[in-house]
Amino acid sequence: MSEYEDLKKTLTLDEMEWNLFRGFSPENARGRIFGGQVIGQALIAAYKTVTDLRCHSLHCYFIRPGDPTIPVLYQVERARDGKSFATRRVAAIQRGEQIFNLAASFQTVEDGFDHQFEKPDFPSPDSLKDETEAKIAKLPPDAQVWNRMRPMEMRPVGAFTPPGGVDKSGTAVWMRTKDDLGDDEAFDQAVLAYMSDAGILETSMRPHDVRFHTPGMQVASLDHAMWFHRPVRTRDWHLYVQDSPSASGARGFTRGLIYAEDGALVASCAQEGLIRMRQPK
């Protein structure tokens, strides 16, 4: 068994029937299914029903915790096929109930106006130390196992104060996959969607000095949106810049911009999640 998750295997689906696919969790997965996994698998399912199109946006809701010990069925609805755009809806099902749903829009590749925010001037990944093991050692045992199995390498840049944002509500991290997963742009988008869910919600907790594993914290992703702007190759380093404009009503809202190392803005994300303190910390 590999020392970390085989992402190629995780995101490979079985075709069961017309518009129906089946996905599995890694063999050693425990607790609940990682949100990025169902986002990536659902996007792959949608991709299996389109031809010569590229996803430009997706919007999804996490409805119930997923059980990693049983398969997930992905039912695709072909909502629309137009001349240059197509829309798909995907329901992820376990034990006869939806645990997640996704809507994705696809477009033919075409040229047009082009502008973007400039990549922030943060230290390069090569200048940062990989402190993964030191950070993992501070986590509870179950969390240590999961973090060691992550299929991506992450090098945090640190906290910063975004313009007009909450003090120290911003975080940035360099990330890339540990394996070269090939040159399939559709698959790379699914991988980036998988990666985009890793840690983004914690940015909304940092201003309050709590984390996922703070005693009494109840944390769960509620919804996730993503826009793909430019081609991506996840084996290369990407800078994931995040900030949290608001937290209220036991929910935290976080935004993210993902830049290639050469400065191209390849994707944008937004997520809201439950951040509830159930007992005094």
Domains of the chain: 7-110+127-277 (2.40.160.210)
Identify the pLDDT of residue 149. Answer: 67
Residues marked as catalytic: 197, 221, 271
Identify the pLDDT of residue 161. Answer: 79
Identify the pLDDT of residue 211. Answer: 87
pTM, two decimal places: 0.91
Give the whole-angstrom CA distance, residue 247 versus residue 210.
13
Give the whole-angstrom CA distance, residue 73 versus residue 92.
6
| Order of all β-strands in the sheet with 20-23 | 14-17, 20-23, 72-81, 85-94, 97-107, 54-62, 217-228, 265-277, 251-260, 238-248, 170-177, 152-160
Give the whole-angstrom CA distance, residue 151 versus residue 29.
13
Identify the pLDDT of residue 141. Answer: 58
Identify the pLDDT of residue 166. Answer: 77
Q: What is the DSSP letter of 117?
A: P
Estimate to the nearest angstrom the gap between the alpha carbon of 7 and the chain centroid: 13
Mapped onto helix, strand or coil, the DSSP state of residue 79 is strand
Give the whole-angstrom CA distance, residue 253 versus residue 274.
9
- Weakly modelled stretches of the chain, pLDDT under 50: 1, 144
Give the whole-angstrom CA distance, residue 266 versus residue 257.
8
Stated as kind and residue range, the H or E segment containing 161 is none
Q: What is the DSSP letter of 19?
A: T
pLDDT (tens digit per residue) in 160-208? 878 777 777 789 999 999 988 888 999 999 999 999 999 899 999 999 9
